[in-house]
Structure formats: structure tokens, C-alpha cells
């Protein structure tokens, strides 16, 4: 299967979507539409490649099936990208005991669908990285190993995926006092040079992110669905353009709402942070409770704090009994940063990485980036 042939068919379309010559745009001109061969193969084997509302259903590899293929590939000295070669038929046949060779061929033969999907994502400055790519966040590899999501779709500054920070989670429906408090947490995080990591949902999540972004900080939103729609939201536009926000999802950009997917993404919010804060939750119900309970009982990736509200909260009190700590309300930016970064008194408080400057060649032209996501998104997205 020669994916390159299909990619060439769309090259002119991509070339027409150039960046305007403006100072801010020039800063982020190191843009690539390249996707590594391993990630191409992963997309073909596991991703729905949804390009229309009535996309055909394919017999995609289930997570357990894909892990078996991954393991054998790694142990045999091959790479997933080897499935894309013109002489890959013997390799495909060698995996027939794991997955029927005819099924693998059908999935790997979706090159045109993949090219269409990549073109649509590119039009909205959505990039995709696979677990073997250098740009894939090391925190997810470390915490989940072979269970790390094989693909991440995103828009914005991918460097922020390594920035850590404070995960802020909470209920969708909160009173005004809770949202005001959450906004202040976001602002204090920005002043302390700590990133906010959250799920981008209505209520506490988006309020914390907005508080940080409006105060000049950074945020990472881990979405369960509708990335294709949300990247056009005016709420995010300037921050995506400015490199202070990244939105990612482990699911197809056109994925529709499923409650189970929103439950599953909670663990990635925690894993991408240094410390977590639960602002509000019901008692043993809802996604916020499930994510915090999973973190405290089983995963234990990061310390979990709970807000101490003016009125007792059964849900937050129950999390304390499971091992969550009361949020101590750090008084200064230094104290806030040390709390989030788990830095002992007297130690340096880590800062978020600075947005890298774009490299240029001797003739002033932007240097082509490797087959990983762009250092920032294309400005053309915001001029549609």
C-alpha cells in the first residue's frame, strides 16, 4: 500500500493553505503535514478515519489486538511502518495467527481514506502523533506503558504536553462561588508559572483553563470527543494561535459524545500533570468522582488535593478519607509552584518550557520539521 501516492494527490491543496506573512505567524512557520510511517500504520489499523457523517464501519483492531501486533513487531526487529512497504505481503501473512491477514490487508488498504482524513485535519490545523513518535508525551509512556493511547490528535503547541502542571477537575454544574474560586486558582497558577491541565468540559474544567489563559498562563485540555469542532471555538482561538494552549484527544477528531470515553480520558488528565486538585464532586457518582477514585485507589500517578469549601461537601470529604489531601491555599506564587511541582522548601520551583523560536535556513526560509506535529498551529485556521 503506497500511502505516499495518495498524499501527493492532496499536496496542491496543502500548498494552497500557506501562512500569511505576519510577524506572529512567521514565528510559527515551521509547519509540517508529515506523519511518521509508524503513525500512518497505526492510523490505518486502529483509527476510524471519519471524514463524513456516514463513514463506513471498518473492522478496526481492538486495543488488545493492536498491543499483540505491537509486541511482535518490537520483538521481531520490525517497525509498524514496515506494513506500508510495497513488499509487505509476507510480513502481513506472518501475523495471520494474531489477526487474519485478509483483515489486515483491508485495513492497510484504506490509504485514500487516510489521505482524505489528514487533509481535513490539516485544514483545521489538527495534527496527530503516535506512541513511537518523539513528540509523544513521555508522561503517558511512563505511566501507562503498553496501555498508553496509541494515537493523540491535537491542535496547538505540542511542547506543552511535557509541561506538567496542576490538574484541575470538577463538576459541570457548580454554583457561582465555586467558579469564582476556580478562576482564581487558574490565575494563581499562571502567576506561579504552573500550567493548568484539565478536561475542557463545561463548569470547573473550562473555568480553570480560562482563568490561567486570561492571566497569561498556559493550559492543556484533554478532550474525549469533538476536537474537530472545538478547535474552531472562539474561546480558544487566540490562545491556540499564540502557542499558550494545546487541545488533545486520544479519540478520532470527529468522535461523538459517549459518557464512557469521558470517563476514560480522566486518567490522562492526571497523568499529564504533577499534582491534581478536585474542586467539586458528587458522592460516588459522575466522571469527576470516578477519575479521582481511580487515581487514589489504583493508579496513584500524582498527589491529589481537594478543595476545602465553605460548606462541607460529602463528595470531597469522602475523597479525603480515600487519601486526598486538603488544598492548603498557598499564599505566594513560590509556595504555589512548589506545591504543584512537589518541590521541598529550599528547592527550585520548575517553570513551564518557553515556546521555542522557529529555526530558519541561511536564506531565511523556514526549516522543515521532522514528521511530528508543528511547534504551533497554522494561523490560516483562524482566518477561515
Domain locations along the chain: 3-151, 158-341
Q: Taking the CB of residue 370, how many other CB atoms lie within 10 A of it?
A: 11
Single out the residue of 271, 275, 295, 276 nearest to residue 343, CA to CA.
275
The side-by-side arrangement of strands in the sheet containing 304-306 is 127-130, 151-156, 245-249, 219-222, 196-198, 166-170, 275-280, 304-306, 325-326
> pTM of this prediction?
0.83
- Choose among 251, 234, 243, 214: nearest CA to 377: 243
User: What per-residue confidence (pLDDT) applies to 86?
Assistant: 85
Write down the pLDDT at residue 170. Answer: 95
Q: Which of 88, 355, 327 is nearest to 218 (CA)?
A: 355
- pLDDT, residue 121, reads 96
Q: Please give the Cα distance from 71 to 63 (Å, whole number).
A: 12
Question: What pLDDT does 194 receive?
Answer: 98
Residue 362 pLDDT: 36
61, 99 Cβ separation under 8 angstroms: yes
What pLDDT does 172 receive? 86
Q: Which pLDDT does position 56 carry in this prediction? A: 63
Predicted local confidence at residue 180, as pLDDT: 97
The pLDDT value given to residue 50:
84
Residue 30: what pLDDT? 31
Tell me what pLDDT residue 340 has.
97
Number of H helices, E strands in the chain: 17, 9
Q: What is the CATH number of domain 158-341?
A: 3.40.50.450
Alpha-helical (H) ranges within the chain are 3-9, 11-15, 23-27, 37-46, 63-76, 89-93, 101-108, 111-123, 138-144, 176-191, 204-214, 227-230, 234-242, 259-271, 286-294, 314-321, 333-341
Which residue in 244, 2, 251, 308 sits closest to 126, CA to CA? 251
Query: What is the predicted pLDDT for the residue at 189?
Result: 98
Return the pLDDT at 23.
Answer: 33
CA–CA gap between residue 127 and residue 363 (Å, rounded): 27
- pLDDT tens track of the chain, all 384 residues? 444 444 434 333 333 333 233 333 333 333 335 899 999 999 999 999 988 756 567 799 999 999 999 999 999 999 999 999 888 999 999 999 999 999 999 999 999 999 999 999 999 999 999 999 999 999 999 999 999 999 999 999 999 999 999 999 999 889 999 999 999 999 999 999 999 999 998 999 999 999 999 999 999 999 999 999 999 999 899 999 999 999 999 999 998 877 677 788 999 999 999 999 999 999 998 999 999 999 999 999 999 999 999 999 999 999 999 999 999 999 999 999 999 998 766 555 445 545 444 333 333 333 333 333 433 333 333 333
Question: Helices 101-108 and 37-46, interaxial angle, to 10°?
Answer: 110
The CB density around residue 219, as the number of other CB atoms within 10 Å, is 31
Rounded Cα distance between 91 and 148, Å, is 25
Amino acid at each position: 500500500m503506497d500511502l505516499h501516492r495518495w498524499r501527493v494527490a492532496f499536496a496542491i491543496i496543502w500548498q494552497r493553505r500557506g501562512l500569511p506573512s505576519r510577524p506572529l505567524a512567521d514565528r510559527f512557520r515551521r509547519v509540517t503535514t508529515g506523519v511518521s510511517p509508524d503513525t500512518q500504520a497505526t492510523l490505518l489499523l486502529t483509527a476510524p478515519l471519519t471524514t463524513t457523517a456516514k463513514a463506513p464501519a471498518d473492522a478496526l483492531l481492538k486495543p488488545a489486538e493492536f498491543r499483540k501486533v505491537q509486541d511482535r513487531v518490537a520483538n521481531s526487529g520490525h517497525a509498524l511502518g514496515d506494513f506500508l512497504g510495497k513488499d509487505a505481503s509476507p510480513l502481513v501473512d506472518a501475523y495471520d495467527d494474531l489477526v487474519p491477514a485478509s483483515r489486515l490487508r483491508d485495513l492497510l488498504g484504506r490509504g485514500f481514506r487516510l489521505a482524505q482524513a489528514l487533509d481535513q485535519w490539516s485544514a483545521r490545523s489538527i495534527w496527530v502523533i503516535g506512541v513511537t513518535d518523539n513528540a509523544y508525551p513521555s508522561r503517558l509512556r511512563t505511566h501507562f506503558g503498553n496501555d498508553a493511547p496509541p494515537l493523540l490528535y491535537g491542535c496547538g503547541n505540542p511542547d506543552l504536553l511535557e509541561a506538567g502542571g496542576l490538574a484541575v477537575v470538577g463538576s459541570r454544574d457548580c454554583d457561582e462561588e465555586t467558579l469564582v474560586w476556580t478562576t482564581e486558582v487558574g490565575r494563581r497558577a499562571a502567576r506561579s508559572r504552573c500550567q493548568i491541565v484539565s478536561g475542557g468540559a463545561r463548569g470547573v474544567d473550562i473555568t480553570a483553563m480560562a482563568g490561567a489563559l486570561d492571566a497569561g498562563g498556559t493550559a492543556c485540555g484533554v478532550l474525549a470527543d469533538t476536537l474537530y469542532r472545538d478547535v474552531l471555538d472562539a474561546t480558544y482561538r487566540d490562545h491556540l494561535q499564540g502557542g499558550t494552549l494545546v487541545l488533545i484527544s486520544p479519540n478520532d477528531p470527529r468522535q461523538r459524545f459517549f459518557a464512557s470515553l469521558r470517563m476514560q480520558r480522566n486518567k490522562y488528565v492526571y497523568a499529564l500533570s504533577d499534582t491534581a486538585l478536585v474542586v467539586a464532586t458528587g458522592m460516588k457518582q459522575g466522571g469527576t468522582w470516578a477519575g479521582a477514585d481511580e487515581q487514589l485507589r489504583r493508579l496513584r500517578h500524582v498527589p491529589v488535593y481537594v478543595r476545602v469549601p465553605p460548606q462541607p461537601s460529602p463528595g470531597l470529604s469522602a475523597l479525603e478519607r480515600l487519601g486526598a489531601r486538603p488544598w492548603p491555599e498557598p499564599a505566594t506564587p513560590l509556595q504555589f509552584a512548589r506545591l504543584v511541582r512537589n518541590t521541598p522548601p529550599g528547592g527550585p520551583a520548575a517553570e513551564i518550557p518557553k515556546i521555542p523560536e522557529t529555526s530558519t535556513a541561511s536564506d531565511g526560509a523556514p526549516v522543515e520539521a521532522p514528521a511530528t506535529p508543528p511547534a504551533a498551529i497554522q494561523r490560516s485556521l483562524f482566518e477561515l
